[in-house]
């Protein structure tokens, strides 16, 4: 999963799938730049795949059909292309969904930008979801969940994704800049006075690493949390090679530190975080 914030929702869905507890319908915040459509397509293929592991296998007949855009058991209404989604297109979808799966597996209906559905269209979807066929899943994205019928929302499971938001706080941005320079050996690493300060720095570290991760993969670079650091991060991604796996590992390290700290008062967070920083700085010196 290229977008770090989609990893957790993905793993949760896979776990539900393995446990046979998938909901009939999921909906999530539409955010193309941050990967919402890619996420839906990935899930669509996963559900159709004949032998899925942690994602679709990419090799089975279903996957090949899907990749060629010819899978007979999946349908998409893309609201991005139209002013509104009328009841006719939903009825068409409804008709397809009611038929037996051509490939004998699951059927998947997708609606992107579902907030553009007319009330009539929304009611038509609701009707299917009130008595959902067992072998059918609905994947829905919406730019504005409030504009979906409440009754429809109550029939679907909300997939919560914490998309990045750009940080506007100048103090935090200059702290992030200081930390990055410290990791690169341009100045000393920040001093961690106490637990509270260390917790703030932990958030800054995680945000900075997530930005770095995006920059090193050349994705969504207009979505950085610390947008003013884009140039510095670009430089660091270009000249100091740190692998995506390593950066992801450091992000998990931040999260684990936070969890350990929350779970126990005896953790010396300032010390542990400064150790982590020193190790990261060492890797940059290699």
Of residues 65 and 257, the one with the C-beta less far from Zn ion: 65
Of residues 56 and 161, the one with the C-beta less far from Zn ion: 56
Of residues 56 and 220, the one with the C-beta less far from Zn ion: 56
Provide the mask over 158-177, with x wherever binding to Zn ion is found by CB under 5 A and - wherever it is not: --------------------
Which stretch in 6-14, 62-70, 97-105, 130-138 sits in contact with Zn ion by CB under 5 A? 62-70
Of residues 44 and 205, the one with the C-beta less far from Zn ion: 44
Cβ atoms within 10 A of the Cβ of 20, count? 6
Which stretch in 25-33, 49-57, 86-94, 154-162 sits in contact with Zn ion by CB under 5 A? 49-57
Q: How far is the CB of 28 from Zn ion (least distance, A)?
A: 23
Q: Is the dihedral of CA 249, 250, 256, 260 positive or negative?
A: positive
Residue owning tokens 């597996």? 105
Rounded CA separation 80/85 (Å): 10
**Burial class of 98 by CB neighbour count within 10 A (0 to 12, 13 to 18, 19+):** exposed
| Interacting residue with Zn ion among 34, 63, 176, 179 (CB under 5 A) | 63
| Interacting residue with Zn ion among 57, 143, 145, 149 (CB under 5 A) | 57
Which stretch in 57-65, 114-122, 175-183, 233-241 sits in contact with Zn ion by CB under 5 A? 57-65
* φ, ψ for residue 31, nearest 5 deg: -160, 80
Site membership for Zn ion, residue 60 (CB under 5 A)? yes
Q: How far is the CB of 159 from Zn ion (least distance, A)?
A: 22
Site membership for Zn ion, residue 106 (CB under 5 A)? no
Q: How far is the CB of 56 from Zn ion (least distance, A)?
A: 5
Q: Which residues have C-beta within 8 Å of that of residue 81, sequence separation ≥ 6?
A: none
- Sequence-ordered alpha helix ranges (H) in the chain: 7-18, 36-48, 61-67, 87-98, 119-130, 150-153, 170-183, 195-216, 230-239, 244-263, 269-285
Of residues 59 and 279, the one with the C-beta less far from Zn ion: 59
Q: Which residues have C-beta within 8 Å of that of residue 260, sequence separation ≥ 6?
A: 267
Residue owning tokens 């650091």? 229
Q: How far is the CB of 59 from Zn ion (least distance, A)?
A: 6
Interface with Zn ion: number of residues (CB under 5 A): 5
Of residues 57 and 129, the one with the C-beta less far from Zn ion: 57
**Burial class of 4 by CB neighbour count within 10 A (0 to 12, 13 to 18, 19+):** buried
The residues binding Zn ion (CB under 5 A) are 49, 56-57, 60, 63
């Amino acid at each position: 999963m290229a977008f770090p914030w989609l990893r957790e929702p993905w793993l949760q869905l896979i776990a539900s799938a393995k446990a046979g507890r998938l909901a009939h319908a999921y909906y999530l915040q539409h955010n193309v730049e941050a990967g919402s459509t890619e996420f839906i397509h990935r899930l669509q293929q996963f559900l159709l795949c004949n032998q899925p592991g942690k994602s679709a296998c990419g090799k089975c007949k279903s996957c090949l059909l899907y990749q060629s855009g010819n899978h007979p058991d999946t349908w998409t209404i893309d609201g991005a292309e139209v002013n509104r989604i009328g009841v006719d297109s939903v009825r068409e979808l409804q008709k397809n969904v009611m038929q037996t799966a051509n490939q004998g597996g699951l059927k998947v209906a997708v609606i992107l930008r579902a907030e553009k559905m007319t009330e009539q269209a929304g009611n038509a979807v609701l009707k299917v979801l009130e008595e959902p066929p067992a072998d059918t899943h609905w994947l829905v994205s919406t730019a504005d969940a409030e504009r979906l019928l409440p009754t429809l929302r109550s029939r679907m499971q909300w997939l919560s994704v914490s998309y990045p938001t750009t940080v506007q706080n100048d103090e935090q941005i200059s702290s992030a800049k200081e930390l990055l320079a410290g990791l690169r050996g341009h100045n000393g690493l920040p001093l961690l006075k106490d637990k509270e300060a260390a917790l703030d720095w932990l958030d800054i570290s995680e945000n900075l690493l997530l930005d770095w991760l995006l920059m090193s993969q050349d994705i969504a670079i207009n979505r950085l949390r610390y947008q003013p650091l884009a140039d510095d991060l670009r430089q660091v991604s270009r000249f100091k090679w740190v692998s995506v796996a390593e950066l992801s590992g450091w992000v998990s390290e931040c999260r684990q530190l936070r969890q350990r700290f929350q779970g126990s008062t005896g953790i010396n967070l300032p010390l542990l975080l400064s150790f982590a920083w020193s190790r990261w700085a060492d890797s940059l010196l290699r």
